[in-house]
Chains A and B, each alone.
Chain A
């Protein structure tokens, strides 16, 4: 069955969207910042992975181990140097700062890597699949991405609920002033949140690079997918984001089955329907 295949692929694709959207959700939950450069950062991770693998021939797992901590560090610095200043400059300025970052990243990538479309060659891992039956097959890559997404979400959930730093993070999200009174350094806490967000973006960016082709201008459309997953799932809920990602992946996959041109439009329309009839999202909550 083509349809069954489309449903399974769509649900698994949702894992990738959830992994990617977590960072957006976390940054909004903790700092009330919508990072408009979110998609472009994933594209930077994609380009970085391509550059490292084609330049040195190092294996994929090594690339992931390098880019993820690197992005975490980058996230911490971005928060401390740029976002923290803009947080105090007024409500509009974080939006302008992240949008400016997005434009700068896109055009620097364009100057450095040209407008050519690329993909990351993940070898047999990226193309192989389990044959369940004659019609249904599950690609290793999709399954691995989905498992990775669930592992990352569980890890973030545990971090937020079990560790001291995680509690500080939730406290700063609920009420930054009171959290400061009881000893949270909000700047450091915000830095940690941004670092986690950037690290998940790096993971998602490398996975996306193997799945589909990309160019310097791909970032905005990726950002919109992440945003839709967050809103469909419900603001501030980690598991809602996973559900939202799966709904989005499913819609896109079924849309593509009807007409390839409907892939992206289908996702946008589901988002608008949720906005019109259930604006609080499918699983509203406040975890982060």
Chain B
């Protein structure tokens, strides 16, 4: 036995490493139950409720994707609306080519990722805050170019007509399930990525980029991957946006307001926690519903809460909660326990 083997085996005997605590097994069950309840909702409640939940699901997906980039990859973008627009227009184009609109949504994700490759090549030349505003310029370029393409309806946009044959009730339910699947998928993708090798390198890059590259992490590659995945997620969200609103125009879909939603949802909920965007999206959604009759006041309130959170609670509401209770719905870290003998000894 070499020394290192001896050391490894004695270390292995001394501690056990687990990814989930007992509480997270419980919370995992609860989440599964919640997903099942949400899935049967179209059979139980009025269509008006499920229709507004579609918007919540889109927000959860967008915010999760933004959180993946900013909270784990250190890439703060104000230009993810570019992929929202590309996704929506891709579904439109695929549908006009005869592809079923719901089936076209994964294709929209792929299209967005394809567009993200050359975009990342340009945007990654800018760092930090300049990256943020550079991505915004690129999103504006996509908006202006889209508005000049007459076959896409130009500046006034176009409607999706291929779904008109489906009964509205069935269409509403289908859209709801697609949106729910989108939200669940984006949370699940974040979770799986963060537990993978890529996730580990991402967090290392976020915490200390120089050190991360010194220990052999290919920093640009890790960042590019997370950028492409986030673009794909936003593209799929854009596709869902089209099948729920049935029309698209460049000014609305490429609006920087989407970035405002993503940023404030994640900041209020908690940057760098998978649970953050979920909590933030629910809070945002509640605020939007409560202030629905007061014009743009919900945006003013949202902005003020966002600024206050960024200054005084930089880890967000979930961060506050996690610090107090050590609760984690999606365990991505490791738990170390003392060895079996030791634990038995303590029990006596």
Q: Spell out A's residues near B (CB within 8 Å).
A: 28, 32-34, 36, 82, 85-86, 89-97, 99-101, 103-104, 106-108, 110-111, 220-221, 223-224, 227-228, 231, 235, 261, 264-265, 268-269, 271-272, 275-276, 279
Check A99–B260 contact: CB distance below 8 A.
yes
**Is B295's beta carbon under 8 Å from chain A?**
yes
Q: Is the CB of B307 within 8 A of A227?
A: no
A220 near B256: Cβ-Cβ < 8 Å? yes
A269–B296 Cα distance when bound, in Å, is 33
Asked if B144 contacts A104 (CB within 8 A), the reply is no
CB distance from B62 to the nearest CB of A (A): 16
Q: Name the residue on B nearest A216 (C-beta).
A: B296
Please, which residues of chain B bring their CB within 8 A of the CB of A93?
310-311, 314
Q: Are A111 and B297 in contact (CB under 8 A)?
A: yes
By size class, the interface of chain B is 35 or more
Instruction: Encode contact with A along B125-140: 1 for CB under 8 Å, 0 otherwise.
Output: 1101110111011101
Interface residues of B in 293-326 (CB under 8 A from A): 295-297, 299-300, 302-304, 306-307, 310-312, 314
Q: Given A32-B129, A86-B311, A103-B303, 13 other A-B contacts at CB below 8 A?
A: A34-B133, A89-B314, A101-B303, A101-B307, A104-B299, A104-B307, A111-B297, A224-B140, A231-B134, A264-B140, A268-B141, A271-B137, A276-B125
Kindly list chain A residues whose C-beta atoms are within 8 Å of the C-beta of B271: 92
Shortest Cβ gap from A235 to chain B (Å) = 8
CA distance A224 to B137 in the complex (A): 7
**Bound CA–CA A261/B141 (angstroms):** 12
- Of B136, B144, B299, B307, which is within 8 A of A97 by CB? B307
By secondary structure, the B interface counts as: helix
- Kindly state whether residue B56 has any CB partner on chain A within 8 Å: no
27 CB contacts below 8 A, A to B, read: A89-B311, A89-B314, A90-B314, A92-B70, A92-B76, A92-B310, A93-B310, A95-B129, A96-B307, A97-B311, A100-B264, A101-B303, A103-B260, A103-B299, A104-B304, A107-B296, A108-B300, A111-B295, A224-B133, A227-B130, A227-B137, A231-B130, A264-B144, A265-B144, A269-B141, A272-B141, A275-B134
Distance to closest chain A CB from B127 (angstroms): 10
| Contact with A223, one of B129, B133, B267, B311 (Cβ below 8 angstroms) | B133
Beyond A95-B76, A100-B303, is A34–B126 a contact (Cβ under 8 Å)?
no
For B264, list chain A residues within 8 Å (CB). Answer: 96, 100
Which of B129, B144, B297, B307 contacts A28, CB < 8 Å?
B129
**Which of A92, A100, A220 is in CB contact (< 8 Å) with B307?**
A100
A94 CB contacts on chain B under 8 angstroms? 129
With contacts A96-B263, A224-B133, A271-B137 taken as known, whether A107 is within 8 angstroms of B122 at the C-beta atoms is no
Q: Is the CB of B299 within 8 A of A107?
A: yes
Which residues of chain B come closer than 8 Å to A261, judged between CB atoms? 148
Chain B residues within an 8 Å CB radius of A111: 295-297, 300
Contact call B310/A100, Cβ cutoff below 8 A: yes
- Given A224-B136, A265-B145, A275-B126, answer yes or no on A104-B256 (Cβ-Cβ < 8 Å): no
B78 at the interface (CB under 8 A from A): yes
Q: Which chain A residues border B312 with CB–CB below 8 Å?
A: 85, 89
- Nearest chain A residue, comparing its CB with the CB of B260: A103
Docked complex: B33-85 residues within 8 A CB-CB of A:
70, 76, 78
Bound Cα distance A220, B304 (Å)? 18
- CB closest chain-B residue, reference A103: B303
Which of A28, A95, A220, A279 has a CB less than 8 Å from the CB of B125? A279
Question: In the bound complex, do residue B128 and residue A32 qualify as a contact, i.e. CB atoms below 8 Å apart?
Answer: yes
A101 to B126, CA, bound (A): 23
CA distance A121 to B260 in the complex (A): 33
Residues of B contacting A224 in the complex (Cβ-Cβ under 8 angstroms): 133, 136-137, 140
Complex: chain A residue closest to B145, CB-CB: A265
Q: Top 3 closest A-B pairs, CB basis?
A: A34-B129, A100-B307, A104-B303
Shortest CB-to-CB span from A81 to chain B, Å, is 10
Which residues 262-310 of B sit at the A interface, judged by CB distance below 8 A? 263-264, 267, 271, 295-297, 299-300, 302-304, 306-307, 310
Q: What's the Cα separation between A89 and B260 when bound, in Å? A: 20
Give CA–CA (A275, B125) in the complex, Å.
7
B291 CB, nearest partner CB in chain A, Å? 12
Complex Cα–Cα for A82 and B264 (A): 17
List B contacts of A28 (CB < 8 A): 129-130
Q: Which residues of A contact B307 (CB under 8 A)?
A: 82, 96-97, 100-101, 104
Asked if A86 meets B310 with Cβ closer than 8 Å, knowing A28-B129, A231-B130, the reply is yes
B302 touches which of A89, A103, A227 (Cβ 8 Å): A103
Nearest CB in chain B: distance from A85 CB, A: 5
